[in-house]
Copies of this chain bind each other. A is one copy, B any other.
Amino acid sequence: MDSTPGASPPFVHFIRVGWGDCDPARIAFTGRLAAFALEAIDAWWEHVIGADWYRMNIDRGVGTPFVHMTMDFRSPVTPRHRLACEVALLRLGASSVRLGVRGRQEGKLCFAGEFVQALLRAPDYAKFEIPEDVLAKLRSAVVAAEPSLDGREEPGRDGRRP
């Protein structure tokens, strides 16, 4: 995904898909796929930035509400394999982040999505300056430009690594 010299490998969060996640079509329900992608992003915050949404909101005073999500579903997800969710920070704005999530089973792309979170002061969700240490970690986590889902170049570049 990122061949820049010195770039970190992509973050991958593995999810156990179970019987209770599946609908009568014997595949994971669409609502569960959205929840899986969100869980993967929460895990990305924990592992890459150092605090999951719970700690970020409660301990650090950084609120992280979603303002947008889009998902394309390409192939069914089933309990027969673990679901590998690759998460990447695509764009860092002044008060938001755009993250990409790609879910794969056995290497096959099952879904791809993009999610935008506002970064606001918690718990009142007022505009604020992102704490400097969080900002620094976010900056270094932005991946190099990649083609977006439909082939267009991502428009925004603020906060990207050179």
Contact = CB atoms under 8 A, between A and B. Distances in A.
Interface of A: 16, 18-20, 22-27, 29-31, 34-35, 38-39, 42-43, 52-55, 57-58, 63, 65-74, 76, 78-80, 122-123, 125
A127 B18 CA distance: 25
Number of copies: 4
A72 B115 CA distance: 10
A22 B20 contact: no
Most buried by B among A27, A30, A53, A80: A30
Contact of A71 (B69, B73, B123): B69
Contacts of A79: 52, 54-55
Given A25-B63, A31-B34, A54 B18 contact: yes
Given A54-B78, A67-B73, A69-B69, 5 more contacts: A18-B54, A22-B24, A34-B35, A54-B80, A68-B73
Nearest to A53: B19
Given A35-B31, A76-B65, A19 B23 contact: yes
Contacts of A43: 16, 18
Contact of A72 (B38, B67, B76, B125): B67
B16 A57 contact: no
A18 B39 contact: yes
A105 to B, nearest CB: 13
